[in-house]
Amino acid sequence: DGGITQSPKYLFRKEGQNVTLSCEQNLNHDAMYWYRQDPGQGLRLIYYSQIVNDFQKGDIAEGYSVSREKKESFPLTVTSAQKNPTAFYLCASTGSFEKLFFGSGTQLSVL
C-alpha cells in the first residue's frame, strides 16, 4: 500500500472508550492525512499535518485528536465524544505532484 501501514485492520470500541488508530509511513513524506469513509459518501478529511509537531483540523475534526511527534507517524485517537465512530478510516501521505498514497485502512465498529 505505497509504504503506509495502518493498524489494526479491525477495531472495536466500547461506549465511553477512547481508541487509537496507528499510521506509519516510510516514504519520507512531510504531509499526512486522516480521512473517514462512510457507505455512500465521499471521503471526508478529519485532520492533516504538513510538518512534524504541527497539525490542522479538517472538515469533521470533532471527537477526534491527533499527534505528529515523528515524521513517520500520525496516530488518530477516536474519543468518547465521537458519538458515531463506526466507519472505515484511511490514512494518507502526499508525495511528489501532490499524489496521495493511502494505507489499507482500519474498520472501526462500536460494540
Q: Is 22 in the site for other proteins (CB under 8 A)?
A: no
Q: What are phi and psi of 90, to 5 degrees?
A: -120, 130
The smaller minimum CB distance to other proteins, of residues 48 and 64, is found at 48
In whole angstroms, what is the distance from residue 28 CA to residue 20 CA?
22
Does residue 32 contact residue 91 with C-beta atoms inside 8 Å?
yes
Q: Is 41 in the site for other proteins (CB under 8 A)?
A: yes
Among 14, 15, 42, 54, binds other proteins (CB under 8 A): 42
Does residue 37 contact residue 89 with C-beta atoms inside 8 Å?
yes
Among 11, 24, 27, 45, binds other proteins (CB under 8 A): 45
Binding string, residues 76-105; x marks residues near other proteins by CB under 8 A: ------------x-x-x-x--xxxxxxxxx
In whole angstroms, what is the distance from residue 75 CA to residue 53 CA?
12
Q: Is 34 in the site for other proteins (CB under 8 A)?
A: no
In whole angstroms, what is the distance from residue 14 CA to residue 83 CA?
11
List of residues contacting other proteins (CB under 8 A): 1-2, 4, 6, 31, 33, 40-45, 48, 50, 56, 58, 88, 90, 92, 94, 97-105, 107
